[in-house]
Amino acid sequence: MKINFFKYEGSGNDFVIIDNRENKISIESLFIKNLCDRKFGVGADGLITLEGNRDVGFSIRHFNSDGEQSSFCANGSRCLVHFAKYLNLFDNEISFLSNGKQIIGSVQNEVVSITMPDVCNIKTDQNGYFILNTGCLHLVVFSENLKDVDVNYLGSEIRNLKEYQKEGINVNFVEILENNISIRTYERGVENETLSCGTGVVASVLATIEKGYKIKSSVQVQTLGGVLNVSWKKNNDEYHNILLSGPVSLVFQGQLVL
């Protein structure tokens, strides 16, 4: 059996996307690991499948490169919106479920925007690191020299602390610049630094506000893979109307022989 696949990237966060609306393939952990392997497979940070139809509604499933399903992936969802537009599944905007979360996406030129889940209950742990859930769990550490941070070493150390080891946590290192924010992220599931992380970008912006920095309600965030934009509104202790925007591109497409 031959299955078409599409390789996408959103600010360097890359994914293999498969149209599974006809339920042609069964997704298994070993299949995902082999597919995402950068030496023996297509190579990606994760796999995304498009499910459903116009009658029952569209949904997507996102799997990390370790074969496990993730709670949510913002850059992956942005790539899926671009893919849905490529398939002519919508005109102006599309509403879909991303691992149970209702997301609305739109495309203007090559810039893809998605709504994000509301965020509240932002805390700090015993080390003063910010902990918050932007669709998946994130920890934010502030740094004055981001380029010198050993993200893989420190990210792995924090991600595998006893209190986070079982469920896992994404670790973001943030530097506040004059007009924007710079961020590097160690992602659970990938177990490595990635070029970008959409939920991490949002988490870092909100943690920056909670730390007391004065930033505009629409701010650019520099990742290793490019620039993303985050806008939001705040009511009491809850952030809502969060919008994540940035470029997305179709890198290549091919066929899997199963």
User: Residue 171 carries which side chain, given as an amino acid letter?
Assistant: V
* Residue 100, pLDDT score: 76
> How many helices and strands in the chain, by DSSP H and E?
5, 17
pLDDT for residue 201: 98
Fold of the 2-115+248-257 domain: Diaminopimelate Epimerase; Chain A, domain 1 (3.10.310)
The pLDDT value given to residue 110:
85
What integer pLDDT is reported at residue 210 of this predicted model? 96
Q: What angle do CA 100, 250, 225 make, to 5 degrees?
A: 80
pLDDT at 40: 95
> How far apart are the C-alpha atoms of 172 and 130, rounded to whole Å?
10
User: Kind of pairing, strands 57-64 and 93-98?
Assistant: parallel
Structural domain boundaries in the chain? 2-115+248-257, 123-241
- Would you call 197 a catalytic residue per the annotation? yes
pTM across the whole model: 0.95
Please report, for residues 4, 55, 122, 143, 183, the alpha-carbon distance to residue 49 in angstroms, rounded to integers and kept in the order given.
12, 18, 31, 36, 28
pLDDT at 98: 85
From the list 36, 73, 79, 136, the catalytic residue is 73
Rounded Cα gap, residues 190 and 86, in angstroms: 27
pLDDT at 44 (0 to 100): 97
Over residues 167-207, the pLDDT tens digits come to 889 999 999 998 899 999 999 999 999 999 999 999 999 99
The pLDDT value recorded for residue 179 is 82
DSSP bridge pairs for 256: 3
According to the model, what pLDDT value does residue 155 have? 97
Torsion over CA of 49, 67, 173 and 152, rounded to 10 degrees?
-140
- State which residues of the chain have pLDDT below 50: none
Q: CA torsion 9→84→239→203, rounded to 10°?
A: -20
The C-alpha atoms of residue 62 and residue 122 are separated, in whole angstroms, by: 25
Does the domain at 123-241 match CATH 1.20.1630.10? Answer given as no
CA dihedral 204, 242, 228, 249 (to 10 degrees): 130
The sign of the CA dihedral 19, 20, 24, 26 is: positive
pLDDT at 101: 80
Percent of the chain with pLDDT over 90: 85
SS3 152: helix
DSSP 248: -
User: CB within 8 A of 152, min separation 6: which ones?
Assistant: 186, 192, 193
Cα–Cα distance measured from residue 218 to residue 228, given in angstroms and rounded to the nearest whole number: 11
| Dist. CA 57–CA 71, nearest whole Å | 19
From the candidates 36, 79, 136, 197, give the one annotated as an active-site residue. 197
Active site residue 36: no
CA distance to 14, 46, 147, 165, 238, per residue, from 189 (Å): 14, 9, 23, 12, 28
